[in-house]
Chains A and B, each alone.
Chain A
Amino acid sequence: MVRNKYFYYLFLLNASINLINYVPRILIQDRFSGVLMSVLIAIPAGAILMYVFAKMLQRFPGEGLPEIFHSVFPVWISGLLLVLYGLGWYFSSAITLISFMDITSRYISPDVSPYIVLTGFLVVVGLSARLDSESLLYALEMVLYITMPLIAYMAWRVYSNPYFSWDSVRQIMTYAWNMPNYRTVAAATYIYTGYINMVVFNRIFRRFKVRYMFSIILVSIVSLFISLFGPIGILGANGAGEHVYPAFSTVDALRIRYFIIERMIYVFFVVYMILSLMNSIIHWHVGKELVLGGFKLEGEKPSLLPKKRKAEWWVLALFAVVIFVLATVINQYTLNDMAIVFLDVRFAGEILLVILLIYAAIRRGRRRRA
């Protein structure tokens, strides 16, 4: 049983990982046409989804999504839904891992084959995803305590840089009166998506309750501000659109004067490697649990455990193979398209998930009364 604070960690993890999952790039692509409006819509939209989701989940203490769905839907519907959600959630980590492989070979070690890097990632993620939910949350807590101060330091360095062009930021702000669009809203709500992890982690929470929505909104505004205006201030209102990874190029422009290493990008790289791996581990864990739940292998029931343990290997192996194959066939453009499709589908899927949960909660309430 874990306490409530781990919910905020799950949120924080996803909010910080957006820099890898193409969120800045999608936002920046739209900088001259409605990104600010989209962000303004995304902030309340994401927050409301998160709040309703959390409220609904409170009615199912100690239950994961598989248990909830199986109790209110016919087996085939819930099975199908769970497998789809599991795969969708896993897909998020596929984008993180593949783009991080790309980043590694682009910025850090061009000479090392990217597939060796990816194999390393997959081994770490695959083996760690099998750990039980509780250990993962403890690991996550530690990782965040190490990385968050560094991220805050880097963000501060970006904004206090004398070469940061506030005029470019103001120029983008004058483009605020443009119509928002779905793609950018979907990308901006990615900041909030961490709460989806609760579909599995709810099993181990003791009396889950979400409070301090205000600070969650504040953190998401700050992280959107960093991912959108950081690159614009450093790389320019026009120039920011020219980079494949705007966030990485921005950090590459930072210099640490009195330190053993001179380029901030190495610190940034290590921080985001840890975060991407942690994020992928958690996504694989959730994805695996959902997929197994779809085949009625849910929770820690002792009778099912040996069977589940065996099936787990197959699911994880499949996850790893799919990512490896994807990494060999796709290029930079398809990866970006994939990320956009994922973000779009994800937002719709989230809304559907919340609706399904509301439905489940109503059904459950009726049954209890009857």
Chain B
Amino acid sequence: MKSLKTWYTLLICGSIMMLGGCEFRDIDLRLFVVAIGIDVSETNPDMNRFSFKIAIPTGDPKSGDVKTVLITQESTSIAEAIREAKSKVDKELDFGHCKGVLYGEAYARQDIGKIQDWTVRRRDMQLLMYPAVAIPTAEAVLKVQPATERIAGNAIFLALSEDGTESPFIAKTYSFDLSRRMTETGEDPVMPVIEATGKEILNIDKVALLDKSRVKTILTRDETRLYNLLDQRHLSTNFGIKIEGELFEVNTDRTRSRYKINESKEGAETIDYKVSITAILEEKEDKAPMTPAGLRKIEKEFNKDLTESITKLLEKIQKTGLDPLGFGLRYGGTHWNNDTEMEKWAEIYPRAKFNVHVKMTIKSTGYKR
């Protein structure tokens, strides 16, 4: 028993001695990088311009005085840029709370593969970061200081994560989802687009479609909403329509989109989309109370209108050759000829027709008849 005690004592003393050797830094010696921006350099084509938005810890988040610093650094690689940025600040840079990677539009049109690989590879970066395309440049977007921001650098992520605002125009994506789509055969990446409009407002209402590594197309606002309708479940949005000069707006409650790849006829393959929407009437110009027959009529008009615009969107995406909705992966997952299925799909996709079937049910007219 006595020898055991001696051993314990020795061990405890020994472990205290080892503690001095570790390199842990206290929280007040750290600066938290909350977002990284990457742009092309205007002066040197080999270099990129990296911006780091750094939050300065304050004691009380309720006080509302937000302190951030934006450090920009031109460098050949991001690893180099971080080391160079470190010599511009007095404290250790911590990436543990980094929640955004913004690719400037010009940069995103080149190749984001290198940086995306870095964010996954680096050990202190989360896989839960929000990647986005920034217009005009990442630096400009990071410079915007929204008046509504309460915690430094928080505004962008509250919007992108949909923890704060929930907009039908925001295509929420995580870093892991982006890297998954970048490597997956038959599914292409998408990213939301953040625009800096004015000094205090950020606008996120578009989605960028990428091939495996660069931005190819940016959809318009309305197309983005339809894209989200096809991609997500229970999207809450509004849809408007004009019938005989009168405006009707509905607010969606539950939405669901499903598709099947129908190849019963060789050479005339179709992708059958079924979109079901439950909605509530929100706005109408017509003063007369609504009748069930009137509702059916509106539903019918909506079905026709949405079918048309969704088909148009799908055809537009098809023309770019991109596959953000993962049709190719679905095809691969339902076919057993593993060696040839992807070549077959490459043949089928450009010629496939879209059959869109929208079924909207307006289940209530709100408080008023």
* A→B interface (CB under 8 Å): 32, 106-107, 109-113, 116, 119-120, 123, 162-163, 165, 167-171, 173-175, 177, 234-239, 242, 249, 252-255, 257, 262-263
Contacts and interface: CB of A to CB of B under 8 A. Distances in A.
A173 B333 CA distance: 7
A107 B123 contact: yes
A234 B180 contact: yes
13 contacts: A106-B123, A110-B124, A119-B15, A162-B233, A168-B180, A168-B333, A171-B333, A235-B179, A236-B184, A238-B185, A249-B127, A253-B174, A253-B176
Interface string B132-173: 000000000000000000000000000000010000000000
B128 interface: yes
Contacts of B326: 165, 167
A174 B329 contact: no
Interface stretch (B37-45, B65-73, B273-281, B334-342): B334-342
Interface string B7-31: 0000100010011011111000000
Contacts of B177: 163
Contacts of A257: 163
Nearest to A234: B176
B184 A168 contact: yes
B183 interface: yes
Contacts of B18: 116, 119
A174 B124 contact: no
Contacts of A116: 15, 18-19, 21-22
A107 B121 CA distance: 11
B184 A111 contact: no
A252 B128 contact: yes
A111 B23 contact: yes
A175 B338 contact: yes
A32 to B, nearest CB: 8
A154 to B, nearest CB: 15
Contact of A239 (B22, B163, B183): B183
Which A-B residue pairs are the 9 nearest by beta carbons?
A170-B333, A236-B180, A253-B176, A171-B333, A239-B183, A238-B183, A167-B329, A236-B184, A252-B127
B225 interface: no
Given A165-B187, A252-B176, 18 more contacts: A111-B25, A112-B22, A113-B22, A116-B15, A162-B232, A163-B174, A163-B177, A165-B326, A167-B187, A167-B333, A170-B330, A171-B329, A234-B180, A236-B179, A238-B183, A252-B126, A253-B127, A254-B128
Contacts of A112: 22-24
A259 to B, nearest CB: 13
Contacts of B21: 113, 116
Interface string B291-321: 0000000000000000000000000000000
B333 A235 contact: no
Nearest to B341: A174
Given A174-B332, A257-B163, A237 B184 contact: yes
A170 B179 CA distance: 19
Given A106-B123, A119-B15, A174 B335 contact: yes
A170 B18 CA distance: 50
Contacts of B183: 236, 238-239, 242
A255 B128 contact: yes
Given A110-B123, A111-B23, A119-B18, A239 B333 contact: no
B53 interface: no
B88 to A, nearest CB: 21
A114 B236 CA distance: 48
A13 to B, nearest CB: 27
B20 to A, nearest CB: 11
Interface string B209-233: 0000000000000000000000011
Nearest to B22: A112
B49 interface: no
Contacts of B19: 116
Nearest to A178: B338
A167 B185 CA distance: 11
Interface in B183-211: 183-187
Nearest to B182: A239
Contacts of B176: 163, 234-235, 249, 252-253
A230 B21 CA distance: 38
A257 B172 CA distance: 15
Contact of A165 (B23, B124, B329): B329
B181 interface: yes
Contacts of A177: 336
Contacts of B333: 167-171, 173-174
Nearest to B25: A111
Given A111-B23, A255-B128, A257-B163, A174 B338 contact: yes
Contacts of A120: 15
A106 B120 CA distance: 12
A168 B232 CA distance: 17
Nearest to A173: B333
Given A111-B23, A111-B24, A249-B127, A236 B181 contact: yes
A171 B332 contact: yes
A235 B25 contact: no
A239 B184 contact: yes
Contact of B336 (A113, A174, A235): A174
Contacts of B126: 252, 263
Contacts of A255: 128
Contacts of A165: 180, 184, 187, 326, 329
A120 B24 CA distance: 17
